[in-house]
Amino acid sequence: MEVSANLGLGGVIAFVAGIAVLVKLFQKEGFLKGILGFICMLYTFIWGLQNMKNEELKLKTWMYVWMAGIVIGLIINFTMGGGAE
């Protein structure tokens, strides 16, 4: 298992938060939308942003963590001069 060095930290943070949001997406929207969220994590991210204010889902923390992961990944990526896939 090879983890890209410049995307590793942000990527892992984003991955963990993304999976947490994906689980909520499966629970709330059903199987097909869950699959869509897995195929396109960008959809999971958008859905998470849209439902951040929903107290029942408790997505706020996970979304902030995910955003932090993206920002960390971008900063490390740009400072190290690496390219994203």
Single-letter amino acid, residue 44? T
Among positions 55, 56, 79, 83, the unique one binding another protein when judged by CB under 8 A: 83
Cα(1)–Cα(20) distance, integer angstroms: 22
Which three-class secondary structure state does DSSP give residue 20?
A: helix
Minimum gap (Å) between residue 11 Cβ and another protein: 3
Check residue 50 for interaction with another protein (CB under 8 A): yes
Does the protein bind another protein through residue 74 (CB under 8 A)? yes
**What tokens does 85 get?**
């896939």
Among 20, 28, 43, 68, binds another protein (CB under 8 A): 43
Among 5, 27, 46, 54, contact with another protein (rule: CB under 8 A): 46
C-alpha–C-alpha distance, residues 82 and 59, integer Å:
31
Structure-block tokens of residue 74: 């971008």
Does the protein bind another protein through residue 56 (CB under 8 A)?
no
